[in-house]
Structure 1
Amino acid sequence: MTSSDIRRAHTPVGSTSMTVSAEFASRTAPFRPELLAHCYRMLGSIHEAEDLVQETMLRAWRAADRFDERKAGLRTWLYRIATNACLTALDQRGKRALPTGLVGPSQELVLTPPRHPEISWLEPIPDALLGDSAADPAAVVAARSGIRLAFIAALQYLPARQRAVLILRDVLAWSAAEVADLLETSPAAINSALQRAHAHLEKVAPMLDRMSESLSPQERQAVDRYMHFFGRSDMRGLAELLRDDVVLEMPPALVWFAGRADVLAFFTAKTCSDPDRWRCVGTAANTQPAAACYQRDDAGIYRAQSIHVLTVKNAAIDKITVFLGPQLFERFGLPATLE
């Protein structure tokens, strides 16, 4: 795709805005899922990632005269633009977090924990936005690799440029020379930044390299049983699925619980032991299994309540990250109510 191709692929509208033509959209569409994943890794927010992908495409149009496909392919060029857009965005905001990264576990049962919308919380990314098997396999791998929630949370501890280096080198498998060219520095500086990033991650998240990217049949069964037991408010059944050291967190609530007893005590109080109070629908986020949970109201309508992203280890539930808020359901392609 030459610079003239890109110019022809846009049509000016008014004095300041442009409309991307069908030709440009068709050329860039295969890269959108992996660029979305890349921006999400950098920012920890699906909303901001989508905005930055749009900005990347606009910057591509504006920089068309400087694009030379003899020096770099379209994919590399778009990654350069997206990475620099993310670095600029990160200069203007703090890191995103999960409750476990901000405070210690609650020492008492808090049934109605206050919410903290003023904190920049990490957001989940629906798997449906990460490409599908019908797309280019390489693009799908690029979109789905290094997207697990614990990894995204750990990345937030890194300075922005170290974050970019680690993602490009470890997740996307770029060479040190390629990353150095993108960030306008030397391969030696890139290798040094990568070494520091690895050391930092080993301190804050030493278990990352032991996390499995796929579920065994037994672990998939555990996920199905979790949805069944939670939907029926069956605490005895849930107790059999939870690890002794299971963790439950619920952004935007700052409170979180550690240990089977505390997690079950909270769930018992919230589900009211009513087998018809909840319904769970299976979904997926961050390449992890998830349950979309609906709560019945007084009119008998099940309303969207939360998305439970599950971390499974050795066929048991190791961590439950509950993202509260019905606004998430539309992004996951789920209805706001069930009857």
Structure 2
Amino acid sequence: MTSPARSTPNDDRFTAETERFRRELLAHCYRMVGSAHDAEDLVQETYLRAWRSFSGFEGRASVRSWLYTIATNVCLTALAARPIRMLPSGLTGPYDGPDRAPECAGPDEVRWLEPLPDAWIAPAADDPAAVVIARESLRLALVAGLQHLPARQRAILILREVLAFSAAETAAVLDTTVAAVKSGLQRARSRLDEVTELDELIEPTDERARALLDGYIAAFERSDAGLLEKVLRSDATLEATPFLDWQSGRAMCIHVLGAYVLGAPGDWRMIATTANGQPAAVVYRRSVDGTLRADGAVVLAATATGVSRVVKFQDPALVALFGFPDVLAS
């Protein structure tokens, strides 16, 4: 009979020195690739590579910088072989054609951006400044905009402006020059400004944000378009993966939801949560047999004057990602 494997002193030291960075590395990989599932896999690969080379780590840089070097290059390698992840609004302008149900993309036509549950990356509750910074750097619109940047420019911008690495540190991570980092950052900023419009969002813990989320949930659960009118701003946008069409303006959003989505009272059930530093909900839809089954997740951009943007992710697997069951008791 063989004895169970035991951790070695080197294993224990590796865990003690690296494990505390796992959540922030997950956030970093998510910003890079736009998928919670992919980010989780890339962090696992990062730790595997780090463990294999830990005995040769000489401490010339901090453990944190060393891990970010590995994680960033793992992401860059992964991105070289994958198309970028998008939202419908990143593909084309809002739909303004004849009235019809939104058009769905083919199964292999687009790789869609995914939301990130806040619980995956929440900093310590005793560090409120870190909480705000983490939320702001993971806003859905920002992450969507980052995906439009070339991968190395994306890495430069994240390392410099989100993680506050110096130009020299960033150059070391990417094995390039300080001049190349400065040039890449300038181009990345310019491109991000072209593709991203960032609203002044209120924190998901703000009572106004929770009231907006509660109103949105109630509108669906009661099939009440009138409630949606109270929640959405006049310039609100609505988009949902895997649909190519998206809507701009409260009237158009409510029309599409009322005509093709809301259904009858009781068809929908939602449970409040947070994702990407924004109010969100996991979504269940009643099937023909009366069972409430996982349908996906919705993320709201909550502002002081109402919801400016609704993004629905129609993917039942996301419900489990947030830690909720596939089937909900009626």
TM-score under structure 2 normalisation?
0.89
SS of aligned partner of 1:250: strand
Change in 2 beyond 3 A, CA 1:100/1:22: same
Quote the Cα distance in structure 1 between the aligned partners of 2:226 and 2:218.
12
Question: Is the aligned partner of 1:146 residue 2:137?
Answer: yes
Return the match for 1:212 from 201, 206, 227.
201
The unaligned stretches of length 5 or more in structure 2 are 1-6
Structure 1 residues 29, 136: CA separation in 2 closer, same or farther (over 3 Å shift)? farther
Q: CA deviation at 1:337?
A: 1.5
| Cα distance in 1 for residues equivalent to 2:150 and 2:40 | 22
Per the alignment, residue 157 of structure 1 pairs with: 148
Mapped partners of 1:22, 1:326: distance in 2: 38
Match of 2:77 among 80, 83, 88: 88
SS in 2 for 1:133: coil
| Equivalenced residues, count | 320
Report the CA distance between 1:177 and its aligned residue. Answer: 1.4
Seen in structure 2, the aligned counterparts of structure 1 residues 105 and 134 have a Cα distance that, compared at 3 Å, is: closer
Quote the Cα distance in structure 2 between the aligned partners of 1:213 and 1:240. 17
Following TM superposition, by how much is the alpha carbon of 1:98 offset from its aligned partner in structure 2, in angstroms? Answer: 0.7
Q: Determine helix, strand or coil for the equivalent of 1:174.
A: coil
The more displaced of 297-306 and 35-44 is 297-306
SS in 1 for 2:289: coil
Contact 1:245 1:318 in 2 (8 A): yes
Q: Tell me the secondary structure at the aligned position of residue 283 of structure 2.
A: strand
* Residue 34, structure 1, aligned to residue 24, structure 2: yes
Deviation at 1:203, TM superposition (A): 1.4
Q: How does 1:35-114 map to 2 (within 5 A)?
A: 35-69=25-59, 71-106=60-95, 107-111=97-101, 113-114=103-104
Query: Is 2:161 aligned against 1:170?
Result: yes
Which of 124-133 and 272-281 deviates more? Answer: 272-281
Deviation at 1:258, TM superposition (A): 1.6
The 1-side partners of 2:224 and 2:12 are apart by: 52
Q: 1:274 pairs with 257, 261, 264, which one? A: 264
Give the Cα–Cα distance (whole angstroms) in 1 for the partners of residues 240 and 77 of structure 2. 29
Secondary structure of the residue that 2:309 maps to in structure 1? strand
Contact 1:97 1:121 in 2 (8 A): yes
- Structure 1 pair 241/131, CA: closer, same or farther in 2 (3 Å)? closer
CA distance in 2, matches of 1:41, 1:212: 19
User: Which is worse superposed, 187-196 or 138-147?
Assistant: 138-147
Is this contact kept in 2: 1:158–1:197, CA < 8 A?
yes
Q: Which amino acid letter does the alignment assign opposite residue 313 of structure 1?
A: T
- For the aligned residue pairs, the C-alpha RMSD in angstroms reads 2.3
Query: Cα distance 1:51–1:274, how it changes in 2: closer, same or farther (>3 A)?
Result: same
Change (3 A) 1:72 1:135: farther
CA contact (8 A) 2:36 2:116 kept: yes
Q: Which residue of 1 aligns with 2:3?
A: none
Identity across matched positions, percent? 47
Equivalent residues in 2 for 1:265-304, closer than 5 Å? 265-271=255-261, 273-304=263-294
Counterpart CA distance in 1 for 2:128 and 2:233 is 35
Match of 1:230 in 2: 220
Superposed CA offset, 1:200-233 (max 9, x none): 111112x33x533625432331121111122111
Q: Is the 8 A contact 1:292 1:308 kept in 2?
A: yes
- Tell me which residue corresponds to 2:318: 328
